[in-house]
Chain A
Amino acid sequence: MKKKNILSLTLFFILTGLCVSLLYSIVSWKTTSDGAFSSTKQLYNTPKDSIDVVFLGSSHVYFDVYPSILWRDYHYASFDMSCSAMLKEESVHHLKELLKTQSPKEVYVETYGLLFDEQLVFSNYYRSILTLRPGFNRLDLIKTIVPEKDRPDFYFKWSIVHNKYDEFTKYDFVSYPANSYGKGAYYFFRPAEISGLSFNPGEIKPGVLSNDDYKYFNELIELSEEYGFKLSFFASPYCIGEDGQAKINAAAKYLTSLGYTFTDFNLLWDELKLDINTDFADAEHLNANGAAKLTAYFANNLIDPSLMVSDADDKIYEQWDKDLLLFEQLEYDYSLKATSDPLLYADRLLENQNITAVISLEPGYFPQATDYISFLGHLGVDSSEAALGGKWVIENKEIKKVLSNEPLAEPVGISLSKYDTFVIQYKDLINSENILFNNKGQLLPYNNMTILVYDKITEELTDIRGF
């Protein structure tokens, strides 16, 4: 073949490879839980040898243990290496993946994976396997847990993800911001009332462990000996059934007999002061209130105090600061959304410098349940100005009027991030397009006042409120 042809072929293969890679970057599987969040991606973005404490397991880990609180209150550099319904085999391989770039001193293994041997939800295989980088560890995991007939699809990933085009979201094209600095936790604030435990976990007779369970413990023990980290186990608090508790009790008995710490938090509900009305996201997981309690218990009772980071200002820990900022921002977002009193809402708008809020008061309103003048007065707006109505923007805790309710007024554009914009205009009375977010009308009908709140940390429209 002539040189020219060889060159043409080479360029063709390079071009094809580039296009296919670009396409793959869009269709690739990106999450290890619900939403756009991926603890595996967060691991890959964490600086080498910066993690001291690892929590390994299922959603019971990413819901229940907050590295951000461990960092804020105790300066522990920790990480939730977790994935939805993580199987035993998956946790071993995910730990191996973490150990490629990190040298943790302590690893706490959550034992929910003892209660099932295969995924009930097949997409959890995708969450666990497809987020791992290519390598022998990943290949080994596929061979271990994926049914033989499906393995080629997992080896080549593409055949699983290629038809995701039907459900593309923004985060298929753009990286979810928290994935560049998060530490594995999934922040959830809303409480759900649960029934609690219907039996005393301590009274359940230990069940039987399978050969696979023993093999799993041995693999973890071997890893701890090879890599020199302290291995401990725990069971998260949730509405477990009696059979599950029997298994946990058996695991606890076996592992403590080997000298390992096993903390069954289902025995510690009272000590943790867990409230079934306020501390749970659902029957299986804690919310932020409950996670704060559980995390504090780890810090005060289990984690070696010598692991506290002495130089928290070291650049290597910038991501923990950012993760904490994210947590506090989400906490703020939740409290804002949960505020029903308008005046309290107004006060909240001025508390946070990481939001941009647009307030639209349409003209010709008549007083309703909300006293708009007082609302705007709380924000520092003069009552005569408030009475005319208009459009205001809150940024960096300051409010500024940007537009009057005049039809010919020039629209005002605000660039919120690389991809998000507000456009504020007056088309006509209570026209949904008076406020556009990414060119979609957001003004609420039947409300004289609409408030849009954009969170600059999460890069999301966090609240749309009508008064």
Chain B
Amino acid sequence: MLFNSIDFLVFFPIVILIYYVLPTKVRHIWLLICSYYFYMSWNPKYVILILISTLSTYFGALLIDKIKAGRGRRLVLAGVILVNLGILFFFKYFDFVLNNINKILSALKLETHASPFSLLLPVGISFYTFQVLSYILDVYKGKIPAERNILYYSLFISFFPQLVAGPIERPEKLLPQLREMTHKKKLSFENFSKGLFLMCFGMFMKMVLADRLSILVDNVYDSLFGIGMVEGLIAIFGFTIQIYCDFAGYSLIAIGAARILDVSLSTNFDSPYLAVSIKDFWRRWHITLSGWFRDYVYIPLGGSRCSKARKYMNIMITFLVSGLWHGAGWTYVFWGGLHGLYQIVSELTLSLRKKIRGFFCIDETRFSFKLSQIVGTFLLTAFAWIFFRANNFNQAIMLIKNTLLRPNLWMLFDGSITSIGLSGMELNILFVGILTLVLFDIIKEIKKEDPAEIFYRQNIFFKSIVLVGLICSILLFGKYGIDFDQTQFIYFTF
């Protein structure tokens, strides 16, 4: 069940209605049932996998809690991690590894092996696996006690707003809120307003912007041989905005849906394209995932508390693993590695850049300097996204080559820009939509506040106009319906 589907439009109001009608003591059970129903709507059989993850980590944590110290704790931890990462590896990376082995065997003129399985990636597996791992690791480290109530724990793993594509919640943040459900009372107007706003804006980002951009991006990537600079730049920048709108849009819907249920989820995106450096970008992009990699990969590797060379190695390893998490493909690994490289080069050249600025008397406090940083960071991330989006390196290289070597700027003036896949009217809608998004992000950046809070503080007329405007925009300009090939959220494929 996608968020942008009629099924969810029917499902969610029923969930809320019954949730607030039920006695508080059983509300978490209702949500658990709904969450499993939500997950099983994708593929009923794969519920077994989430059950295995839930039960293995639940009982594993209890055991770890019981065994206060010693080898036994480590063994249990290792076993639980092995089971969960094993499932993830099997479904996500088995075919990738096999294909690479086959390539080597083929190069050595040896017999290759076909995959004995036809594996469909279970939706959300990368997300909930990380969520269970953070739980078991935190219990092992003694940060939190093991959760005794299996229902709360199951709901923590399967809570439907964030189940299939995050935010990846930490147990110390989400579990207490779920326990609180037995004490919470009525539907709060404030939560409803804020949640509705976030859901509407998230739908707007996904259905009006991301799905519209995907038409342009897909058309260019499908016909790379004949493209020039204009199409290339449209695909590069288009995908940069598309993936942001798709993923951040999903996160907003998830956060908004949870807010209506009086559950606060973590912010996952914080105007990432207003970042002034790659390091800053990763503080703003997929915040919960980068936080996870920081806490469970980078810091255990030594983080920055080691030699510079070791630190850079840790950075690179973390980003390579992050790339691999995003997809079973070398282009994803390369994308991750590129970001690692950006950070390393940025650190290595920091003093040199300072000297250059000093030489040219560039005042770092000026808006123009900040703007140049923002633009520079945006361009670097856009370049890296090329590899993320491309099916293989040949595609990425062809896109870069044709973009640089075929300057067909007349396309911007002779009307042929509409041949890429969107009519003039559609391009106008896209343009206005992107401006709206930029305004939204700039306001967030200036106010340094949750956008839902900013929205809620406005007067009733303004709020109504904004919400009605969003709803009408989604209904009118959203990409959905009988002629539309529904695109999943990009991050569902992880």
Q: Does chain A have a CB within 8 A of B475? A: yes
Among A1, A152, A153, A160, point to the contact of B188 (Cβ < 8 A): A1
In the complex, the answer to whether A160 meets B482 with C-beta atoms within 8 Å is: yes
Contact of B475 with A150 in the complex, beta carbons under 8 Å: no
Q: Are B476 and A162 in contact (CB under 8 A)?
A: yes
Q: Is A16 an interface residue (CB 8 A)?
A: yes
445-483 of chain B: CB within 8 A of chain A: 460, 464, 467-468, 471-472, 475-483
Cα A152 to Cα B6 with chains together (Å): 8
Given A156-B6, A162-B481, check contact A16 B468 (CB 8 Å). Answer: yes
Contact between chains at B480 and A159 (CB < 8 Å): yes
Contact B481 A8 (CB under 8 A): no
B471 near A16 with CB under 8 A, answer: yes
Interface presence of B426 (CB below 8 A): yes
Most buried by B among A27, A150, A165: A165
**Residues on the A chain within 8 Å of B482, using CB:** 150, 153, 159-160
- Which of A2, A15, A150 is packed against the most chain B CB atoms within 10 Å? A15
CB under 8 Å from chain B, chain A span 144-172: 150, 152-153, 156, 158-160, 162-163, 165-166
Tell me whether A20 is interfacial, beta carbon within 8 Å: yes
- Structural contact, B475 and A20, CB atoms closer than 8 A: yes
Q: Which of A5, A11, A20 contacts B464 (CB 8 A)?
A: A11
Q: Which residues of A contact B472 (CB under 8 A)?
A: 19-20, 23
A163 vs B474: C-alpha distance when bound (angstroms):
11
Q: A99 an interface residue at 8 Å Cβ cutoff? A: no
Q: How long is the Cα–Cα vector from A152 to B10 in the complex, in angstroms?
A: 11
Asked if A199 is an interface residue, CB under 8 A from chain B, the answer is no
Report the bound CA distance from A162 to B192 in whole Å: 27
CB contacts (< 8 Å) of B425 on chain A: these are 165-166
Report if A12 contacts B (CB, 8 A): yes
B367 at the interface (CB under 8 A from A): no
**B186 touches A (CB below 8 Å):** yes
Q: Does B87 belong to the interface (CB within 8 Å)?
A: no
A selection of 23 A-B contacts at a CB cut-off of 8 Å is A1-B186, A8-B189, A11-B464, A16-B467, A16-B471, A19-B471, A20-B475, A23-B472, A27-B476, A152-B6, A156-B6, A158-B475, A159-B481, A162-B476, A162-B477, A162-B478, A162-B480, A162-B481, A163-B481, A165-B425, A166-B423, A166-B425, A166-B426
Shortest Cβ distance from residue A95 to the other chain B in the assembled complex, whole angstroms: 26
Contact with B along A1-42 (1 / 0, CB 8 A): 110010011011001100110010001000000000000000
Return the chain A residue nearest B6 by Cβ. Answer: A152
Q: How far is the CA of A16 from the CA of B470 in the complex (A)?
A: 10
Contact for A165 among B192, B467, B476, CB less than 8 A: B476
B458 to A: closest C-beta gap in Å: 13
A77 → B minimal CB distance (Å): 38
**With the chains together, A153 CA to B483 CA distance in Å?**
10
CB B456 to nearest CB in A, in angstroms, measures: 12
Interface flag for B187 (CB, 8 Å): yes
A interface with B by C-beta (< 8 Å): 1-2, 5, 8-9, 11-12, 15-16, 19-20, 23, 27, 150, 152-153, 156, 158-160, 162-163, 165-166
Considering the chains assembled together, what is the distance between the CA atoms of A166 and B425 in angstroms?
A: 7
| The 3 A-B residue pairs with the shortest CB-CB distance in the complex, in nearest-first order | A159-B481, A5-B189, A153-B482
Bitwise interface map of B from 420 to 450 toward A, beta carbon under 8 Å scored 1, else 0: 0001011000000000000000000000000
A20-B471 CB under 8 A given contacts A162-B476, A166-B426:
yes
Residues in B with CB closer than 8 Å to A160 are: 481-482
Residues from chain A with Cβ under 8 Å of B426 in the complex: 166
Q: Are B189 and A2 in contact (CB under 8 A)?
A: yes
Known: A23-B472, A162-B476, A162-B481. A1 touches B189 (CB 8 A): yes
Separation in Å of the B429 CB from the closest CB of chain A? 8
Q: Is the CB of B476 within 8 A of A23?
A: yes
Q: B423 contacts A15, CB within 8 Å?
A: no
A9 to B468, CA, bound (A): 12
CB nearest to A7 among chain B residues = B460
What B residues does A12 contact at CB under 8 A? 464, 467-468
A153 cross-chain contacts in B, Cβ below 8 A: 481-482
Nearest-neighbor residue (CB-CB) of B481 within chain A: A159
* Chain B residues, CB < 8 A from A9: 189, 192
> What residue of chain B has the Cβ atom nearest to residue A8's Cβ?
B460
Q: In the complex, what residues of B have CB within 8 A of residue A23's CB?
A: 472, 475-476
Interchain nearest-CB distance for A161 vs B (Å): 8
A160–B476 Cα distance when bound, in Å, is 11
Cα(A246)–Cα(B188), bound, Å: 69
A23 to B189, CA, bound (A): 27
CB-CB under 8 A from B483, the residues of chain A are: 163
Q: How far does the alpha carbon of A211 sit from the alpha carbon of B389 in the complex, in Å?
A: 53
Assuming A150-B482, A162-B481, A163-B483, is B468 touching A19 (CB within 8 A)?
A: yes
Whole-angstrom distance between the alpha carbons of A16 and B464 in the complex? 8
Residues of chain B from 368 to 402 with CB closer than 8 A to chain A in the complex: none
